[in-house]
Amino acid sequence: MSVFNLEDARELMLRKHLRGRGIGDRRVLEAMASVPRERFIGDPFRELAYADRALEIACGQTISQPYIVALMSEALELKGEEKVLEVGTGSGYQTAVLAELAGRVVSIERHPQLSVQAGKLLADLGYANVSLVCADGTEGWAEGAPYDRIIVTAAAVHCPSPLVAQLRDGGILVIPIGGPAGQMLEAIHKTGDRTKVISLSPCRFVPLIGAQA
């Protein structure tokens, strides 16, 4: 696919699949425009980089459709100084979008192959505010806690308690909840010992795997 066509596809994504479906946060739209999604897609799917669909990557995982990436990013309400924990690095695409929006990103991935590949690509793209960890993401990453925001890019039947515990008071956690029969993307707002859950959209993610899943 030529650079010209990639630019056209990116603009169509922004206009139709993001703005056209209600994504209005200027910073999120700018981040989605800036991150070269085609760099995170395997060669067989490169021409589909800006199509609004999930695509397969290595280790049986997927890169989420652009709308869901934007919706999750918008729900985090990032202003630019926050420390974010991402559970599920995958290709590193959502990580890159978060790096554009937040002050610091810690991203956990259980597959060493994906973590290494994402780390090389993120470094090549110049994202110096990202730290990658290969570990069980359902346990969170206590070394960096508390986090202003947490995002989980795989579906759990319930939100792992370590993630809620590592979320700062006043923080937001975005996670898909549910099983094979159906999932709902939820934003969990934490205030003291209480949480408020906002349902965002039906969704479909690969299952979250780990001790606390």
Indicate if the alpha-carbon torsion angle 200, 68, 17, 60 is positive or negative. negative
Burial of 39 (C-beta count, 10 Å sphere; 0-12/13-18/19+): middle
Task: Answer yes or no: 64 catalytic.
Answer: yes
Which of 2, 34, 64, 115 is catalytic? The answer is: 64
Place of tokens 């993120």: 122
- The span from the CA of 176 to the CA of 43, in Å, is 28
Closest to 144 measured CA to CA, from 131, 158, 160: 131
Task: Give the residue numbers marked as catalytic.
Answer: 64
